[in-house]
Amino acid sequence: MSDDLYRETIVTEARHPQNYGPLEGADINQSYVNPSCGDSINVYVKLDSAKKKIIDLGWEGNGCVVSMASMSFLSAKVKGMSLEEVNQLTSDDLQRILGVEEITPSREKCMMMGLMAIQKAVSVDSSVK
Amino acid sequence: MLGSQMIKSQFPILSRRVNDKPLVYLDNAATSQKPQVVIDAISNYYTQHNSNVHRGVHRLSDESTRVFEESRNSIASFFGAESEELIVTRNATEAINGVAYGWAAQNLQAGDVIVTSLMEHHANFVVWQEVAKRTGAKLEFVGVDDQGRLKLDELRQKLETSPVKLVALVHVSNTTGTVNPIKKIKKIIANNQKETPIRLLLDGAQSAPHMPINFKQLDVDFYVFSGHKMLAPMGVGGLLVKKELLESGEMKPWLFGGGMIFSVLPEATEYNPDLVERFTAGTPDVASIVGLAAACEYLKTLEMRKVEQHDRELVLYAIEKLSRIPEVKIIGPVTPAQAGQSLDRLGSVAFIHQTAHAHDVSQILDSEGVAVRSGHHCTMPLHTHFGWQATTRASFSVYSSKTDVDALVKGLEKISQVFK
């Protein structure tokens, strides 16, 4: 399983993440922390005028290869997605994106951090509206 | 010899394979493995003697009571304590909570000061935060220096200037491996004793498995330990309390109900004058107590003096090997506090990997069959103080060997390849 997680593509993605850094003019800024290891992710989300769709996303974070690579791939995937679609993303989707067949519960938390941050961000925004 | 194949073969789980590699278990500070004699003792209790203790006239109850009492005596004797000074708990955390409910809640008032340190496990930290909240006592922290040693001057200064009633410190740190200088600490406390005595609690979760402990000679008021970290089953540990605190009633029972009573009337209940019974409410976990006694007997045969020496050698060997890996930065003491002294460190070597996150380190080590722990090891205040996000820890037991450390080092080389 771990060889699967530490393929060059994943390690490289974590080292050279996409959409990294704060996003100017973001509508939402949301942080998420994994209390078991102290890893953290901060996402910046820009929505369309109807507030139904993510049009841009930036992020910053500290964490392991799994959380950073997962967040990086995800940041590219969610651009253009509706909030409804984003809320429907699951652990299985992330495993498919990362190309990982199996993941232990403790590493699943690492993998899910980015998605949790984004889903929390858009749910906070929906509740504000 | 400790760490030998012969010792390893006495722990059935160590013959397991993980990821098609022989298991190299270096997560002993989290929990130790159990020797066959401990597993057999538990199994034998349930197959031969199981029955509730005390007040039973039939044969099994008599046997169970006898086994229970012998086991308690054996555990207390292992720690150089009297049987009455041992209160059996689930673990060190529950034991510290016992001091909070049975002692602190009865003796602390608003304005009193509790002193703990930044190197504590959450078990000896969060409990005192909560006690402070409930009693109005103030909680103060002794800091640590760059090598992870207690700043004794800070302790002295607090004792000189504040109305301190309790000092609660870890004996051996589960993160830096630092062995706190108890004699010096006791001297500082003795020099500052006032009308109301200052009580000292030692968290021995990481000292009991690695060094000889004699409660009488240690001469502290409270000492807590977890059985599962010293080859015994999970779910059993202990609180040692100085007999005078029990006899004077300064330390009171905190669990009430069956077993701990002398007589119960609708108007009032009289508690059992027998100290052991007074602090044993409800049916005890006899099988686990039997298992803990078997673990104590096993360790006694190995001799704790030799266990300590073996552990010390492994710590020094690990420091030497790990410090040759450029990406690895060892945390905690690496040179003796004073020239000519032995290194004041036991049980574990934790480190930061400069290029790989602690979770990635332990995951890749796992693929090599090497089990270590990564994260904050329940010492978040210490991690925050030093700005460590997460660390990786290798920790030892009686079956650990230099070959295990070599396997760790080899695994770390694989990490250097993945993160080149």
Identify which of A11, A106, A110 has the shortest CB distance to residue B419: A11
How many CB atoms neighbour CB A35 within 10 A? Answer: 10
Instruction: Write down the residue that tokens 């409270």 correspond to.
Output: B222
* Residues lower than pLDDT 70 in chain A: 1-2, 124-129
Show residues of chain B in contact with A5, CB under 8 Å: 363
Nearest CA in chain B to A68: B357
| Alpha-carbon separation of residue A93 from A78, A112, B130 (angstroms) | 12, 10, 42
Q: 3-state class of B275 per DSSP?
A: helix
The shortest C-alpha distance from A126 to chain B (Å) reads 32
Identify which of A36, A38, A107 has the shortest CB distance to residue B389: A38
DSSP letters spanning B138-166: EEEEE-B-TTS-B-HHHHHHHHHHS-EEE
How many CB atoms neighbour CB B317 within 10 A? Answer: 17
- Complex prediction ipTM: 0.81
B254 touches chain A (CB under 8 A): no
Q: Are B26 and B321 in contact (CB under 8 A)?
A: no
The shortest C-alpha distance from A103 to chain B (Å) reads 11
A62 touches chain B (CB under 8 A): yes
Say what the pLDDT of residue B386 is: 96
Show residues of chain B in contact with A39, CB under 8 Å: 357, 359, 389-390
Give the phi and the psi of residue A50 in degrees, each rounded to 5. -80, -5
Give the phi and the psi of residue A60 in degrees, each rounded to 5. -135, 155
Largest pairwise CA distance in chain B? 75
Distance CA B281, CA B277 (A): 7
Sheet holding A39-47, edge to edge: A28-34, A39-47, A54-62
B375 touches chain A (CB under 8 A): yes
**Structural domains counted in chain A:** 1
Q: Are B200 and B223 in contact (CB under 8 A)?
A: no
Q: Does B378 participate in catalysis according to the annotation? A: yes
Q: Do A2 and B419 touch (CB under 8 A)?
A: no
Torsion sign across C-alpha atoms B272, B278, B281, B287: negative
Identify which of B19, B356, B390 has the shortest CB distance to residue A38: B390
Q: 3-state class of B333 per DSSP?
A: coil
Say what the pLDDT of residue A128 is: 43
- The residue annotated as part of the active site, out of B88, B275, B378, B382, is B378
Cite the beta strand spans of B26-185 per DSSP E. 86-89, 113-117, 138-142, 164-170
Nearest CA in chain B to A110: B359
Question: CATH number, domain at A99?
Answer: 3.90.1010.10
Instruction: Write down the residue that tokens 């390849």 correspond to.
Output: B417
Torsion sign across C-alpha atoms B308, B309, B314, B316: positive
Say what the pLDDT of residue A124 is: 65
A33 touches chain B (CB under 8 A): no
DSSP lists the bridge partners of residue B382 as none
Identify which of A5, A11, A62 has the shortest CB distance to residue B363: A5
Domain extent, residue A58, equals: 2-128
For residue B18, the one-letter residue type is: V
Q: Are A58 and A19 in contact (CB under 8 A)?
A: yes
Say what the pLDDT of residue B410 is: 97
Show residues of chain B in contact with A11, CB under 8 Å: 418-419
**What is chain B's pLDDT, residue by residue, as a tens digit (420 residues)?**
787 899 999 999 999 999 999 999 999 999 999 999 999 999 999 999 999 998 778 999 999 999 999 999 999 999 999 999 999 999 999 999 999 999 999 999 999 999 999 999 999 999 999 999 999 999 999 999 999 999 999 999 999 999 999 999 999 999 999 999 999 999 999 999 988 899 999 999 999 999 999 999 999 999 999 999 999 999 999 999 999 999 999 999 999 999 999 999 999 999 999 999 999 999 999 999 999 999 999 999 999 999 999 999 999 999 999 999 999 999 999 999 988 999 999 999 999 999 999 999 999 999 999 999 999 999 999 999 999 989 999 999 999 999 999 999 999 999 988 887
Interface test with A, best of B360, B376, B386, B393 (most A CBs within 10 A): B360
Query: Domains in chain B, ordered, with CATH?
Result: 5-30+303-418 (3.90.1150.10), 41-299 (3.40.640.10)
